[in-house]
Chains A and B, each alone.
Chain A
Amino acid sequence: MGNTKYDSCSERDLWNLVRTGDEGAFSFIYREQVKYLFTYGSHFTNDEELVKDCIQEVFARLFHRADKLGETTNIRFYLCLALRNEIWMEYRRRKRLPLSAMDELPFLANFYLESPEEEPLQQHLEKIVETINLLPHRQKEIIYYRYIEELSYEQICRIMGLKYQSAVNLVQRSLKKIREIYTHTFSYSDLPLALFFILKMHLFVNK
């Protein structure tokens, strides 16, 4: 935004300025993050107005409760956490769902491959992506954090409100589902390939 004063700040310092009520820093963070937050929030609902409203609410609270904020070195993560919670609360309120119905928050976004590969690799990849897109919402969400956003396990637990073990279980369920669908669609000769891929994912997410 061409504001060198804030550009050169570390995230921690910038955040601390917001905590002291610095409107310039608040504005800087807003402009820097709002597009990302909109994109992130839109994964949960097609209602763009709802996403915008929730973003505004998150920032309004940030503004009013600046003095009560804790420290952070990762502003974007902090805001995503707050936004997801806000969207969930609003979604639940509109659908009149009980607090316990977390599983019902949609994760609508579909995965795709950026550019085609050579056959037969392309065909395998497409099948895997197709399989991922058929997973339940929470499982798609966890794959999104892991593969698109590349969050740590700790962060995933935090943002999805899961205990470590639940997150592991969730991933294992996803992998099992992928394996089921995948092995159904591939011929026997392709099977080792599929299993190997899944094994690798497994090792990767468990670390």
Chain B
Amino acid sequence: MLKGCFHGDVELSLAVHPRYAKNKKMKDDLSLNDPEREEFDELYRTLSRKLRVEHKELPDPEVEELWQQLISTVRSRKKRLRIHLLMGSVAASVALLIGTLFYYHTRSGDIDRDDILHAAMNLNRVDTLEQISLILNDEKEIAIAENNVEIEYTEKGEVQVNSRPIGEKAAEEAETLTYNQLVVPPGKRTLLTLSDGSRLWVNAGTRVVYPAIFHRDRREIYVDGEVFLEVARAEHAPFTVRTGALDVMVKGTSFNILAREGEATRSVVLVEGMVTVKTAHGSMTLAPSEMLEVKNGTERIRKVDVNRYILWKEGIYLFDNEPLHVIMEKLSRYYGKRIICDEASGGLICDGKLDLKEDLERVLNGIAKTAPVTWKQSDETYQIAIIR
């Protein structure tokens, strides 16, 4: 239906029907002898004259900003986009990242530093995939059918999947960095080892962009989703994780970062070492066991039980005082299944631990045994309801 609208056969006359014509039509249609007719006509006319709809307006200065942003993006994206369209992909998310890019330009003014964001923007986000997907710089895409795979880059930038070389060169012999992309769909997880030896546990529903071989004096990756990182120590090459909303700068340390585009809450949890987090409001340094949470523009640092935030990588999910609907959202992403709670069950506050290595139905059975809820599956959706 609407999908092909850009093939363009829209050929309609101007939208506006002159209002008097409407009223005339109304009169013609109403051949009644109603004594109160005049009054009704007035009601109708008044309504159609006065009915308004609440609306937001784009402030004038933003028009120019958006235009500049658009034109620089379309120029740099020209070649690549064609390929994506041929692949039949909507590439809507590319636009999603435009905002991110602009944000960094205005904030840092350091164009060189934006390499990784450029790369992240230019790479197509393909998160409707069902399989883990590794996209190499030459647009070669490798789909991996298994779950919990290990992907490793050697120092020379060669790629191994579960210790087997895949026979693809991930990096060209070139001056410029070449970026690779790993997309882990809902229901899958991956352990990724980068060329410097840093390890990333990549959770379900996450996209990571990184160079096949790091720069000599700095290491940068881009994350949209959730990863746990163990950064290999390298004094002269600081490691930065960039996301749409915050950057985390480290030397050698391990921490969890949750920053998904389009979600309100983003967090960084430090396990050991030290990191500096840069947000729109400034920089702050975290100590071990501290969590920075950014939610609706406010930032808060507090001590946490780190296990709660990193046990997902072992397939365990710890929670306390969390409403069931939040838990179900996480399960939904983890297993790649749609789960819906009714209002009453979604509000139940739960403490506990779930072993996610089991399949979803066993996990749901476990929940149903301890909480007053039942579940049923219809079509592709799991429905959770309270027992009354």
Interface residues of A (CB under 8 A from B): 27, 30-31, 34-35, 38-39, 42-43, 47-50, 52-57, 59-65, 68-74, 76-78, 81-82, 84-86, 88-90, 93-94, 96, 98, 109-115, 117, 121, 124-125, 128-129, 144, 147-152, 154-155, 158-159, 161, 192-193, 196-197, 200, 203-204, 207
Contacts and interface: CB of A to CB of B under 8 A. Distances in A.
19 contacts: A56-B70, A57-B94, A59-B70, A65-B85, A71-B8, A77-B15, A81-B2, A94-B262, A96-B338, A98-B380, A115-B50, A121-B42, A125-B43, A128-B47, A149-B15, A152-B13, A161-B2, A193-B43, A203-B29
Contacts of B95: 53-54, 56-57, 60
B216 interface: no
B52 interface: yes
Contacts of A193: 36, 39-40, 43
B333 to A, nearest CB: 9
Nearest to A81: B5
B50 A85 contact: no
Contact of A121 (B43, B70, B98): B43
Going nearest first, the 9 A-B pairs with the smallest beta carbon separation are A70-B8, A57-B95, A38-B58, A161-B1, A42-B56, A85-B2, A203-B29, A114-B50, A63-B74
A77 B92 contact: no
Is the contact region of chain B dominated by helix, strand, or loop, or is it mixed? Answer: helix
B267 to A, nearest CB: 19
Contact of B25 (A31, A53, A61, A207): A207
B99 A49 contact: yes
Contacts of A121: 42-43, 46
B111 interface: no
Contacts of B50: 113-115, 117, 125
A149 B47 CA distance: 14
B11 interface: yes
B5 A85 contact: yes
Contact of A89 (B12, B58, B92): B92
Contacts of A52: 66, 99
A76 B16 CA distance: 12
B12 A77 contact: yes
Interface residues of B, number: 71
B9 interface: yes
A53 B92 CA distance: 8
B174 interface: no
B71 A113 contact: no
A70 B43 contact: no
B90 interface: yes
Contacts of B48: 147
Nearest to A99: B3
A43 B53 contact: yes
B69 interface: yes
B175 interface: no
Contacts of B49: 114
Interface string B191-209: 0000000000000000000
Interface string B320-337: 000000000000100000
B20 interface: no
Given A69-B8, A109-B55, A110-B54, A196 B40 contact: yes
B78 interface: yes
A64 B29 contact: no
Interface in B19-42: 19, 22, 25-26, 29-30, 34, 36, 39-40, 42
A33 to B, nearest CB: 10
Q: Which of B36, B47, B67 has the most CB of A within 10 A?
A: B47
A185 to B, nearest CB: 16
